[in-house]
Amino acid sequence: MNPTAGFRAVYGRAPDGVWSAPGRVNLIGEHTDYNDGLVLPAALSRRTRVAAAARPDGLLRLHSARADGGVVTLEPAALVPGRVRGWAAYPAGVVWALRTAGLAVGGADLHVESDVPQGAGLSSSAALEVATALAVTGVHGLVPEPAELARLARHAEHAFVGVPCGIMDQTAAARCRAGHALHLDTRDLTVRHLPFDPAAHGLRLLVVDVGVRHALADGAYAARRAACEAGARALGVRALRDVAPAQLPDVLGALSAELRPVVRHVVTENERVARVAALLAAGDLRAAGPLLTAGHASLRDDFAVSCPELDLAVDTACAAGALGARMTGGGFGGSAVALVAEERAEAVARAVTAAFASAGFGAPAVFAVTAGEGARRDA
């Protein structure tokens, strides 16, 4: 990627700078963030980069190397939720969120380049949002705190784009550290940076992009969130975060058959996050494997957000020797992760690829990831 050259080719001038934010892989803690729960993501080394320059005429011009259709031109003062469609809704929503928060951002030219896979459960949207927020504030001389950038980026996706997401993805993009996983309490937004270096333990973390592209705005994600909120109301708690694992037997008996598995997933998933975080803090990454696999079973059976390709990736990886595996991201497609001993990594990748071919699925993309750095200015 060369976003500076790309910017010049599109706009005929040099950018004021280049800003970037990473995609993320979530180790454990799925669909807990909008329940005031715990999550444990790590940033990818794959990033979205935004080259940007201020404009004196107040116009916002957007261009992506990935998208057809050329430059999208908008007036920031006229931005309204629901009016912008497609990829441009994400950066436009960020500008809208910044302005509604009272930040003095005006016109800008933006050119976007990214190697974060889209629709793969690796938060390409959050990477775009946070990189845009950093770029737009940067060209206008503003330096918001990373936590505020994450909050505004999440507000953009929720209120402008229409995806009722939690705040995990944007916080990971804004606040992760290289070589660490981010333990985030989504209720009070406190963070702990826990060492996460699989190679130091003789391990690899493999991502399996199964090639099934999800669309979280299609209603399934919103339906799961609504069910969680209904469960909290039925139990008389602020959020499902407030249900302790020891309470589950009594709690489940008080719920409808429809809400019971949803609540069980969220409560047990929070407990899994706490256990994996404790293992990372103790330097025992290998022991986290079975908790990843248990998390997948819960997402598949209780929360019902997996798909045949994700299940095949997880089952095959574990059968081929992975210490643990699970889907990552919102579900309905996207990616799985597998924690694998280094000497087994290639065999696991081959086994998953062969299993997909035998099942008649398209070839998955399998690659190892390391914990990357959060949002930053690159140039």
Distance CA 167, CA 289 (A): 25
**What separation in angstroms does the CA of 157 have from each of 76, 80, 170, 321?**
16, 13, 10, 38
Give the type of residue at 240: L
- Strand 180-185 and strand 38-54: the pairing is antiparallel
Q: For the chain, state the CA radius of gyration.
A: 21
Handedness of CA 263, 266, 267, 272 (dihedral sign): positive
Task: Tell me which H or E stretch contains 40.
Answer: strand 38-54
> Who's near 236: CB < 8 A, 6+ residues apart?
none
- 301 an active-site residue? no
Using DSSP's 3-state secondary structure scheme, residue 206 falls into strand
Q: Which two tokens stand for residue 137?
A: 């504030």
Closest CA relative to residue 61, chosen from 143, 123, 132, 142: 132
Q: Please, what is the Cα angle at 333 between 279 and 324, to 5 degrees?
A: 25
Q: Would you list the DSSP string of 211-224? A: S----GGGSHHHHH
Which alpha helices (H) appear in the chain, and where do they start and end? Answer: 3-11, 89-100, 124-139, 146-155, 168-175, 220-235, 248-253, 260-281, 289-301, 308-319, 345-359
Amino acid residing at 47? R
Judged by DSSP in three states, 154 sits in helix
The span from the first CA to the last CA of the chain, in angstroms, equals 13
User: Looking at 169, 197, 209, 218, which residue is catalytic?
Assistant: 169
Reduced 3-state DSSP string for 77-142: HHCCCCCCCHHHHHHHHHHHHHHHCCCCCCCEEEEEEECCCCCCCCCHHHHHHHHHHHHHHHHCCC
- Catalytic residue positions? 169
